[in-house]
Structure 1
């Protein structure tokens, strides 16, 4: 069709994974390479024309039989758990990597923002990289000059414009990269989760700009994010990937619901040992659960209950780590951050942790309204990140409860946080007398 700008047909991407043989050293000597080569030649001579499978290699399909079309002006959210194939799809659409099978048809120029520094040369200045990216997109120097001031103003890097970008912070990198990608008028804008590097104000600014690009300028956007609120507010359609295949293609709210159900199911079934994470691994979180006031494990709590969050940890190595700080975050069902608390915020010392032990945090009068909330966690040892699982480590289902101690549940639509405090009422005469006394005291100073 004439208004179709992206057409994907039976797309597949295969990778070959290498596995180390059991009992073999991770280091390979020259004699091992020669010996393996000789064995390979001998196998081919014994079985000419027949390809012998390598027992140390495995085929992995990051994408398989993916087909869809995107029309001009659509804003499509690509969602799915880590490893679903989202980034691989965007790399193929951005012509960074080639597909193993299938084909894609693109109408128009594609600007991609897939990771910090995509398309930038570290030795060039910010100014030079703006012109470099414009040239890559096929723009003339006059076109770039026309947009130059808008790009610099949006990125807020005017002071550092003639500084090599290798000296930029990650936030500055992203600000300039997004500004270039959004302002140089590509027909298709591809944005991965790189916007998470920026601060909250800049993320909001970028989402607003993407909305303008789609609605006012009629350009097409493919947007990958784990922030479901951004997907809901920005996208007119969602494509959910699961294990490299399309699981849902259509209404954003339906896609978000399926994604959250999949996320909850995965967090209940998958061991935290298998979760993608960063850190030194000196101290790792291996399990998480909730307990009630009686120390019994529970899967749901009520507003106003006393809730104990238990983080089971494992010490790797022989030494006992010191200066431990464990932090957790609570998120809405859309992934929006509600609160973060680290043990060192409260001056708590966790150095007594043994080889395998649990760190607990008890919340009295649990202050959340009905709904499902997700838990993230991170461990820091001696001010160095030890463990940061990149997926949520668990969820908390909250039911209506007597948060205010009066046997009454709050009205619906009140938001996630419940508040307690003291109400009082003063007569107008008492308030005026208090104001008069305050002013009199100030005159006497």
Structure 2
């Protein structure tokens, strides 16, 4: 007997933008007649790939296009990709919330899905009633649900509110109960979307531990979608990268994460962009390493330079950047505010330099994530991700400091200098 529990065979999903119908009665009749005869929809062929960043010419978009792969029993499969890549659409098809336009999925076993906050709950029913409702949907008897009831409530940590209608729950309480129900009512396949991001850090850690436990000890299959590369790395051994509705890469989790980062990381150490006449923006960013080819020695001074341009005066501007590792985790975050270093109070170009006296991060590959913002709680003018890639080398330092990966998230000391260059002459604003 095959140990494949999910077989996805050329799944595609077509959506029409704007009006739901084809626009004319004759086209609607033609589509209906094609469906009756078991033929392909005559209006599918004009669809475009799902790229949210560009304006298309067609009213039809392929949210998914020819997705094929298999999942084995007991496997924890990660699914990653940028927003709009098609991850949630695929999970909705797998959970039978929506139908594919073409293709087929074969599933062996019951599926419990945690896709959106409140999915599968009736808002007027209490937490207790929803537990029994979800168990009944999965085909469990009342006795089986009662046997699990106390364990579910204890895991969710909402015993005081278990007889309160769930419409009065916060989003965090929703997620706590929903995950506890999905994980404890013994489905063969557990499907989890990004909803765990709603919970607090302690509960997220608890959920990851539970998912690992039900996979390794109970042999259940898990499909896990997340933007948290650390969680994906911790929980999964194999992952899928989705891009514009298609499978871009399938492989081990480290390989897939690297493929994800390499796809979006800008290759140049220096980022540049022309200034805009209409909005404030970052026009240049550079990491100055002490070794050739974007390499840097651990403990050596590191310099980050950021140039911003504003076509009009700003009040309370701030610039900050994160150093991000190859798991997409921010390692350190450094910032400067207008109240500390005057900047952007007049239209023009401002050159910022951040001197890190001793850059103490573990060896590995890193990029910058740069923010250009107004005062706290105000407008964010621009965020740049995956720019200025560089590699940190440790040589023999790890023997002296006994550092290990995953133990180096910290706040770094740094000095900022701001220089205004609006008319060709420059002066420091200290």
TM-score range, shorter chain: 0.7 to 0.9
What does 1:244-393 correspond to in 2, within 5 Å?
244-265=245-266, 286=282, 289-292=285-288, 301-303=296-298, 304-310=300-306, 312=308, 322-341=315-334, 343=336, 348=340, 352-354=344-346, 357-358=349-350, 360=352, 361-377=354-370, 381=374, 383-384=376-377, 386-387=379-380, 392-393=385-386
CA distance in 2, matches of 1:182, 1:220: 11
Q: Is the 8 A contact 1:94 1:112 kept in 2?
A: yes
In the other structure, the counterpart of 2:201 is 200
2:120 alignment partner, SS class: coil
Q: Is the 8 A contact 2:80 2:239 kept in 1?
A: yes
In the comparison of the two structures, how many residue pairs are matched? 376
Give CA deviations for 1:274-308 in whole Å, capped at 9, x if unaligned.
xxxxxxxx9875556125499xxx96554422412
In the other structure, the counterpart of 1:103 is 104
Cα drift, residue 392 of structure 1: 2.9
1:411 alignment partner, SS class: helix
1:384 alignment partner, SS class: coil
CA distance in 2, matches of 1:130, 1:258: 40
CA distance in 2, matches of 1:144, 1:271: 59
In the other structure, the counterpart of 1:424 is none
Asked if 1:4 is matched to 2:20, the reply is: no
Question: Please, which runs of 5 or more residues in structure 1 have no aligned partner?
Answer: 20-36, 274-281, 402-407, 420-445
Alignment RMSD: 4.2
CA distance in 1, matches of 2:73, 2:112: 15
In the other structure, the counterpart of 1:427 is none
Q: Is the 8 A contact 1:85 1:242 kept in 2?
A: yes
CA distance in 2, matches of 1:92, 1:205: 28
1:148 alignment partner, SS class: helix
1:218 alignment partner, SS class: coil
Q: Is the 8 A contact 2:282 2:372 kept in 1?
A: no
Q: Is the 8 A contact 1:370 1:398 kept in 2?
A: yes
Change beyond 3 A, Cα 1:347–1:128: farther
Give CA deviations for 1:42-82 in whole Å, capped at 9, x if unaligned.
999xxxx998x899633322221111221221111112333
Q: Is the 8 A contact 2:281 2:309 kept in 1?
A: yes
Asked if 1:125 is matched to 2:118, the reply is: no
CA distance in 1, matches of 2:12, 2:269: 30
Runs of 4+ that moved beyond 6 A:
40-44, 53-56, 266-273, 388-391
Change beyond 3 A, Cα 1:239–1:418: closer
Relative to its length, the structure with more helix (as a share) is: 1
Q: Is the 8 A contact 1:6 1:70 kept in 2?
A: yes
In the other structure, the counterpart of 2:15 is 15
Q: Is the 8 A contact 1:267 1:392 kept in 2?
A: no
CA distance in 1, matches of 2:93, 2:64: 10
In the other structure, the counterpart of 1:69 is 70
Asked if 1:183 is matched to 2:196, the reply is: no
CA distance in 2, matches of 1:388, 1:73: 45
1:190 alignment partner, SS class: strand
Q: Is the 8 A contact 1:284 1:313 kept in 2?
A: yes
In the other structure, the counterpart of 2:398 is 411
1:57 alignment partner, SS class: coil
Cα drift, residue 219 of structure 1: 0.8
- Per the normalisation by structure 2, the TM-score is 0.72
CA distance in 1, matches of 2:309, 2:386: 13
